[in-house]
């Protein structure tokens, strides 16, 4: 698996080059509003959704963005990972 960063999402790319999942956001100034996380059922046993969130957090850090996780999955990952608090919009 590989990952591709687009303008408003990070995409999980499978060995054939097809999208296998994504995390998407909308920017509002310096805030990334996370609105969707999806991984194809074929890949759900691989912890790819949590890796998408981790990569999104790294992207936010690199660009000095705060994150507002409206997506339930992303919000649950922020609750499980206090190390993400530095980018969490309070």
> Residue 46: what pLDDT?
86
Give domain limits for the chain.
Answer: 2-84
Terminal CA-CA length for the chain: 33
> Residue 90: what pLDDT?
85
What is the spatial distance between Cα 67 and Cα 20, in angstroms, rounded to a whole number?
A: 23
Helices (H), 15-83: 48-62, 72-80
* pLDDT above 90 for 2: yes
Could you tell me the fold of the domain covering 2-84? Aminopeptidase (3.40.630)
> Residue 64: what pLDDT?
98
pLDDT tens digits, residue range 25-80? Answer: 999 999 999 999 999 999 988 899 999 999 999 999 999 999 999 999 999 999 99
Angle of the 48-62 helix axis to the 72-80 helix axis, nearest 10: 80
Average the pLDDT over 3-8 and give the result. Answer: 95
> Residue 24: what pLDDT?
98
């Amino acid at each position: 698996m590989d990952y591709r960063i687009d303008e408003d999402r990070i995409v999980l790319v499978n060995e054939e080059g097809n999208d296998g999942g994504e995390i998407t956001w909308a920017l509002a100034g310096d805030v990334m509003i996370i609105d969707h996380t999806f991984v194809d059922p074929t890949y759900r046993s691989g912890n790819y959704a949590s890796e998408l969130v981790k990569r999104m957090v790294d992207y936010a850090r690199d660009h000095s963005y705060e994150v507002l996780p409206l997506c339930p999955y992303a919000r649950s990952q922020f609750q499980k990972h206090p190390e993400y608090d530095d980018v969490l919009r309070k």
